[in-house]
Amino acid sequence: MCKPFKTIALVGKYDGAEMGGSLPLLADFLRQQGYVVLIAHNTANLLDIGDHATAGLIEIGERADLVVVLGGDGTMLSIARALAGYPVPLLGVNQGRLGFLTDVPVEGMFDALGLILQGEFIEEDRLMLDTSILRQNKVIFSAYALNDVVVSKGSTGRLIEFGVRIDGEFVYGQRSDGLILATPTGSTAYALSAGGPILHPSLAAFVLVPISAHTLAARPIVVNSQAVVELELIHADDARVHFDGQRHCDIRIGDLVRITRSPSPVRLLHPLHYSYYRTLREKLYWGKKL
């Protein structure tokens, strides 16, 4: 049987010394199976790995047939953004807490990966957000996000005021702590905590969720993922835009935050037994006594 992958890259949590046991073992396992193994520069430096080839993320995006991400959901979000635009699929081995995106347990990674390398896997595309921040009609910052883009108050802690347009049509003005625009992937993150709905990953949609709005009439709204969402900052002492909670950009009155669907989705691989609803049951403790 033809193997679906030849070159496999390993990327680990940048500050995760606990990978010192699992990642080198996984690299040796793959090399013994005849695969070309690349380890991300930062990961190799962190773990002092010198007996495997290393590569930067751009080279990994260009050369790898599969990227195995060891860490938690935060690590997967970071790597997904870094490899945006490259068609290489990602597989997550969970060494974090939640594991919504990194669904292969580290204890069973050899068995799970062995089956996946034989072609026994489920593949799905997860849509990403592509954001541009415009100041006086010029783009001053741009970034991708897999979970969410959050426009929020800054360190002063005061409400911000903004207007929202969708496909060029004014929808509402709002005074609040901010607004979350989440993908289906991100609907179980900050957006869920703020009262938003859970969107199945197969839906081509975004959800806009107000954060502590100054009126009880403010409610989440789900829009088609082809929509162009624009947020104009009307008043704020201090405001910023966050991307997956990992990057941010400060914004000023008059700035425009334009959010669209990225043309390149994130390709995720899962074991054959993967079930999104089972993941929800386990991670959200549905039906369990706390």
Phi first, then psi, for residue 202 (nearest 5°) are: -80, -10
State the Cα–Cα distance between residues 262 and 130, nearest whole angstrom: 5
- pLDDT tens sequence across 53-81: 999 999 999 999 999 999 999 999 999 99
**What residues contact residue 20 under an 8 Å CB cut-off, 6+ apart?**
47
Q: Quick one: CATH architecture of 7-126+265-284?
A: 3-Layer(aba) Sandwich (3.40)
Q: How confident is the model at residue 2 (pLDDT cuts 50, 70, 90)?
A: low
Catalytic choice (73, 103, 130, 244): 73
What's the Rg (C-alpha) of the chain? 20
Burial class (CB in 10 A: 0-12, 13-18, 19+), 290: exposed
Q: What mean pLDDT is reported for the chain?
A: 93
pLDDT for position 22: 86
CA–CA dist 147, 193 (Å, integer): 13
pLDDT score of 16 more than 80: no
CATH class of 129-261: mainly beta
Active site residue 111: no
Instruction: Give the number of other Cβ atoms within 10 Å of residue 40's Cβ.
Output: 23
What residues does each domain of the chain span? 7-126+265-284, 129-261
Q: Which of 183, 188, 228, 182 is nearest to 202 (CA)?
A: 183
Q: What is the predicted pLDDT for the residue at 4?
A: 87
Reading the block at residue 124, the tokens are 């799905």
